[in-house]
Amino acid sequence: MKALITGGTGFLGGALANRLHKLGWDVTVQGRDSAKLKQLKADGLKVIQADLADAAAIMNACKGRETVFHAAALSSLWGRPEDFYRANVTGTENIIRGCMEHHVSRLVHVSTPSIYFRYQSRLNVREDAALPEPVNEYSRTKRMAESRIDDAYGQGLPVVSIRPRAIFGPGDNSIFPRIIQRLKSGGMRVIGDGHNITDLTYVENVVDALLLCADSQRNTLGRKYNITNDEPVKLWEMIERACRELDLEYPRRKISYKVADSVAGMLEGMYGLLPSRPEPPLTRYSVFVISQSATLDISAARRDLHYNPRIPVEEGFREFIKWWKNK
């Protein structure tokens, strides 16, 4: 099977590339990180160093591919609107054109459950839930990308989308590393009551879901599927355990969600006025994620894709800690 993976130098894309290569697929990886591309090439994968906004390069990358996994995105809490649009909307448009021009058999698109979230807890959210106003540029442009995918499906593109929640595991450069960095700085506070629950998804389970989408029945085309480990955890208990495992001090001081949200809003306003627009030390979205409950319903993925989370959170957490200590 010949596959193209966009964002193959990223966390999820890299894990997918390694799995497909081990399974004997003919894999081409698109990315911008030259060092990681060099390593992937040394491992026997084909690589393309190209920006997703480069229409000609992306069109050519899709040529001869049977399956395209679109995992690339600008996923960040902060940044310039034009950068998010270029990566998440223009990039998706170019992938769509490439797939349609070269008659790709299946596009598997990685979206995000960030499009569901507003500034209040939400539990067991289903794929057909009403979508609120986007909370940041990432969710806004990913929602726009989904709209482009929907239009392409209406024009005959065979596509399946997933919305994986809070991916973690060895190689994670976002969720737990950000938390660990704040813990090390000594500037972290428990926000809220410390009892909020959240879904996590081990990276290899997401790879499983992507492979299921690549080979799913026709009734899945045009659909979007929530993907999680389906075992909500108390986030602050996970953070406390990380502190024990990594010999870090667990934050003992607390701050209410309302106060933290107000402070983050002021910081966003201040930092947004600076010429370089650096990321504030606290954003409203990060305050929400770490203090409010958010879980998804994955019954559709279980039913249609036969997705069953293979690696539990406990095992995944142990693997992350082992990797972090040895990296």
- Strand 122-125 and strand 294-296: pairing? parallel
Q: How far apart are CA 80 and CA 276, in angstroms?
A: 10
Q: How far apart are CA 295 and CA 203, in angstroms?
A: 17
Residues ≥6 apart with Cβ < 8 Å to 275: none
Which of 85, 116, 138, 225 is labelled catalytic?
138
Find, among 291, 301, 308, 151, the residue nearest to 220 by Cα.
301
Q: How far apart are CA 213 and CA 142, in angstroms?
A: 19
Sheet holding 233-234, edge to edge: 122-125, 294-296, 197-198, 233-234
Annotation says 138 is catalytic? yes
Backbone angles phi, psi at 69, to 5 degrees: -105, 115
Q: How many CA atoms lie within 13 A of 248 on its CB side?
A: 22
Q: Label residue 26 exposed, middle or buried (CB < 10 Å: 0-12, 13-18, 19+).
A: middle
Please check whether residue 159 is in contact with residue 107, taking contact to mean a CB–CB distance below 8 angstroms. yes
Q: Considering all CA atoms of the chain, what is the largest pairwise distance in Å, rounded to the nearest integer?
A: 57
Q: Is 277 helix (H, G, I), strand (E, B) or coil?
A: coil
Query: What's the Cα-to-Cα distance from 90 to each of 98, 158, 269, 271, rounded to whole Å?
Result: 12, 19, 27, 27
Annotated catalytic residues are: 138
